Amino acid sequence: MLSRCTCRLPVSLTLTSILLALVAVGIPSTKLHGQTPNGWELLGRGVNYGNMLEAPTEGEWGIRFDDRWPEQIRQAGFDTVRLPVRWSTHTDTKPPYRIDPAFLERVQSIIDRNLQQNLRVVVNLHHYEELFADPQGHRERFLAIWKQLSEAFQSAPPNLYLEPLNEPHDKLQGELWNELLVEVLSVIRPKHPDRWVVAGPDFWSNVSALPRLKFPENDRRLIVTVHYYMPFAFTHQGAPWNQPILPTGLNWDGTAQQQKAMDDDFQLVIDWAKKADRPVYIGEFGAFEKAPTESRARWTQAVRERCEKHQMGWSYWELASGFGILDPATGRWREPLLKALLPSAQPDGR
């Protein structure tokens, strides 16, 4: 976003046992013999737990994780949750860069609660602003964070996915990000040789930055992610963190011109993924609450339909805050948005 396990399996499984484990937790089996599974098979339909753990402290942005949500999300028909986490504010600033054990335990408990509901979980490192401003100065700390997380999640089941960094930008771009990605994978892979890892391009994981992204060719357990908020003037109208604040009242009517612009954006992703032979995950997309409701639903449906047409996994941004599909005060789904994402869902989640 531009703004701001109780049942565990050993990760050192043979390929056959990994496939059996995937079936056991309800994840479609990946293809063998060099055929790359697609993002839809791997991650399906998802939603982000936004503005919770990626706030400087949980609750600081007005919302905390609710233990009832994983069951409600699963009953509605979602397959995946993405868990943004600001590990950097809970990590010592001096070597050995220890993560606060209480915070790590909190995150693990949330992951476990979602895994218990047979949901796939993508856990990331979100809003590491110091790294974006000074990549070299924070390189060692970034790698130390992932060394600890790799150890903490070593015995998690295969439906836990790791995303080393959300939306690289500022000074962390191009070859510098490609090199750091290889470095962090070298930290993760000793403990997680077969786990799927999610990574996207710089420039806030915008589709236009995909040509700069290079995955290590010998690592075939990588999923490319992009975030989609185009047209930005529509999706971020009235958002207070975007200065100057964009004017409200802008509709997205699904005109031929608007549809073509969206198709052209998706074609960039399709072309990159086909050439690289990588699964695709649209890890964020959404329109802020100040946009007209009908247009929000229409745009959301258009993005979701393209993801599914092209076999891309997706996760809407986000559950229960400014972009949210759930009203945290009532615990009820916002029906127009829910229907745009899950056409067969009922408002009560069944």
- The Cα 146–Cα 163 span in angstroms is 10
- The Cα 345–Cα 131 span in angstroms is 40
Is pLDDT of 333 > 70?
A: yes
Is pLDDT of 12 > 50?
A: no
Q: Which two tokens stand for residue 181?
A: 């990605």
**Average pLDDT for 193-210:** 98
| φ, ψ (nearest 5 deg) of residue 51 | 70, 15
Question: Tokens 């962090």 label which residue?
Answer: 184
| φ, ψ (nearest 5 deg) of residue 314 | -145, 155
Give per-residue pLDDT as tens, 258-294. Answer: 999 999 999 999 999 999 999 999 999 999 999 999 9
Give per-residue pLDDT as tens, 93-144. Answer: 999 999 999 999 999 999 999 999 999 999 999 999 999 999 999 999 999 9
Domain boundaries, the chain: 40-341
- The Cα 229–Cα 37 span in angstroms is 26
Query: pLDDT band for position 13 (50/70/90)?
Result: very low
Question: Tokens 């699963």 label which residue?
Answer: 74
Q: What is the CATH number of domain 40-341?
A: 3.20.20.80
Q: What is the C-alpha R_g of the chain?
A: 19
Peptide bond preceding 231 in cis form (omega within 30 of 0)? yes
pLDDT at 349: 47
Angle at 325 between CA 317 and CA 320, to 5 degrees: 75
Query: pLDDT band for position 347 (50/70/90)?
Result: low
| φ, ψ (nearest 5 deg) of residue 225 | -120, 145
- Identify whether the C-beta of residue 121 lies closer than 8 Å to the C-beta of residue 93: no
- The Cα 148–Cα 153 span in angstroms is 9
Peptide bond preceding 179 in cis form (omega within 30 of 0)? no
Is pLDDT of 307 > 80?
A: yes
pTM for the full model?
A: 0.90
